[in-house]
Structure 1
Amino acid sequence: MKFAIISAGEGSRLSQEGVTLPKPLVQLNGVAMIDRLIRIFIRNGADKVVVIINNESPLTKEHLAKLQQETEVPLEVVVKTTPSSMHSFYELSSYLQDDKFCLTTVDTIFREEEFAAFIEAFKRADNDGYMAVTDYIDDEKPLYISTDGALNITGFHDAATSECRYISGGIYCLTPTAIRTLNACMDKGMSRMRNFQRQLVADGLKLKAYPFKKILDVDHAGDIVKAEAFLAGKE
């Protein structure tokens, strides 16, 4: 199974709030966010890890070049500035089209034990995708997810409906079938990950919601403190 990290954003909100390091290198309890993800992926059976960073990140590029020499699994690095996460996903897709894969952004923070159970469930499943979800809402623009009684995903929504118990946690486990939908979305000029996810449902892919107790994003300087406390088991 392959793992992919979208890390091509500018991290402008963090830099405006006084954080000097590029977002991937921001440390949580002494570990850079990108290092933490790569280590977790390797511990969870990664055959390959693929990362996309933007052209404006020489420090991140240098850091990853070192990691490429040190990691025990192949680490591919794509350097390209993209206009959206969906475009970043598209740039990674050629590495992901022959196996099950897990995709997330560099600032998605979760507990490893929940992630490991999520990955194992997906490996055993015959669904087209497993989406990490949570009922903990700490997102400026959450993507709400409607499900049936068996947690099969029926829709993705900008506002909550009566069928929405969860929001997206931003961790996507998918099969290569999803790449066909991604390519079609790009051909239509679509540009947001949430629209890609809506198209997965429209195309009839079988998607399952997998609940996590909590998933955080690091978008602001204050989120670093929250993420460190969460990972240390203090909240």
Structure 2
Amino acid sequence: MNYGIIAAGQGSRLVQEGVGLPKPLVRMCGRPMIGRLIDIFVKCGAESVSVIVNEEMTEVAEYLRSLAPSLPCPLNLVVKTTPTSMHSFYELSSLMEGKGRFIITTVDTIFREEDFARYVNAYAAAPQEVDGMMAVTGFIDDEKPLYVATDDDNRITAFLDAPQAGVKYVSGGIYGLSGSAIPVLRKCLADGVGRMRNYQRSLVAAGLDLRAYDMNKIVDVDHASDIASAEAFLEGE
């Protein structure tokens, strides 16, 4: 499996709340968040890891360059400032094209290693006609969650900005996709579509077979207070 990390955001809320490190380097149980993600990907059989950071994140780029020689797989670094996470994904997409299934995460998505490993195995074992598998959670702590509607087979039928009856999941910021998702991404860029959630809606509108995988609890680190609560979650408290 090939993996990608979107780490090109500004992390402005953490800065405003007094966190001095760039978000990807904020420590999570003693490890920089981005380093922890890469460790997990390697344990899950990464063939490659691709990361995009913005042009202001010189510390993050330096950290990744220093980490690369110790990894058992290629680490591809893209340094570019982008307006949205969808545009960041577009910058990574050329590194994923032609490599079969791949998984993209945002850098501030925190999950338990064992839950992620089960998700990777489920996606790898899914029938070939499945175009993607999105990790979802019933735990809602995001300020603007993206609700995920599913049918009885966990096929995703809609991405919603507001809750609806019978909808029990929100997006976990972990996107398992295949090559069939890339032409839809290019069309979104050409049509001026913005934001990752609108891209996901476009995938459904294009008729792609997307499945939801319940990864139990997934949390985001958006505020300084989220750091301690995320660590407590990982430590099982």
TM above 0.5, one fold? yes
Equivalent position amino acid for 1:101 in 2: F
Q: Distance in 1 between matches of 2:70 and 2:119?
A: 27
Q: Distance in 2 between matches of 1:101 and 1:147?
A: 22
Equivalent position amino acid for 1:29 in 2: C
* Among 129, 133, 138, the residue aligned to 1:135: 138
Q: Show the counterpart of 2:25.
A: 25
* Among 192, 197, 202, the residue aligned to 2:195: 192
After TM superposition, give the deviation of residue 68 of structure 1 in Å. 1.2
Equivalent position amino acid for 2:152 in 1: G
Q: Show the counterpart of 2:14.
A: 14
Equivalent position amino acid for 1:102 in 2: I
Per-residue CA deviation, residues 145-194 of structure 1 (Å, 9 max, x unaligned), is 11111111100000011231111111010111000110110010111100
* Among 149, 157, 182, the residue aligned to 2:160: 157
Equivalent position amino acid for 1:123 in 2: A
Equivalent position amino acid for 1:121 in 2: A
Equivalent position amino acid for 1:62 in 2: E
Equivalent position amino acid for 1:233 in 2: G
Equivalent position amino acid for 1:113 in 2: E
Q: Show the counterpart of 2:50.
A: 50
- State TM-score, norm by structure 1: 0.98
Q: Say whether the 8 Å CA contact 1:146–1:153 is kept in structure 2.
A: yes
SS in structure 2 opposite 1:164? coil
Correspondences of 1:110-189 after superposition (within 5 Å): 110-126=111-127, 127-189=130-192
Q: Say whether the 8 Å CA contact 1:85–1:192 is kept in structure 2.
A: yes
Equivalent position amino acid for 1:24 in 2: P
Equivalent position amino acid for 1:64 in 2: L
Q: Where does structure 2 lack aligned partners over 5 or more consecutive residues?
A: none
Q: Show the counterpart of 2:69.
A: 69
Q: Distance in 1 between matches of 2:62 and 2:149?
A: 42
SS in structure 2 opposite 1:114? helix
Q: Does 1:233 align with 2:212?
A: no
Per-residue CA deviation, residues 87-113 of structure 1 (Å, 9 max, x unaligned), is 000000000111210001001000111
How many pairs are equivalent?
A: 234
After TM superposition, give the deviation of residue 33 of structure 1 in Å. 0.2
Q: Say whether the 8 Å CA contact 1:148–1:163 is kept in structure 2.
A: no
Q: Does 1:100 align with 2:81?
A: no
Q: Distance in 1 between matches of 2:236 and 2:182?
A: 36
Deviating beyond 2 angstroms after TM superposition, the runs of 4 or more aligned structure 1 residues are none
Q: Distance in 2 between matches of 1:201 and 1:193?
A: 13
Equivalent position amino acid for 2:175 in 1: Y
Q: Distance in 2 between matches of 1:17 and 1:44?
A: 34
After TM superposition, give the deviation of residue 72 of structure 1 in Å. 1.3
After TM superposition, give the deviation of residue 58 of structure 1 in Å. 1.0
Q: Distance in 2 between matches of 1:29 and 1:113?
A: 16
Q: Does 1:203 align with 2:217?
A: no
Q: In percent, how many aligned pairs have the same letter?
A: 56
Q: Distance in 2 between matches of 1:65 and 1:151?
A: 39
Q: Distance in 1 between matches of 2:70 and 2:21?
A: 22
- State TM-score, norm by structure 2: 0.97
Q: Where does structure 1 lack aligned partners over 5 or more consecutive residues?
A: none
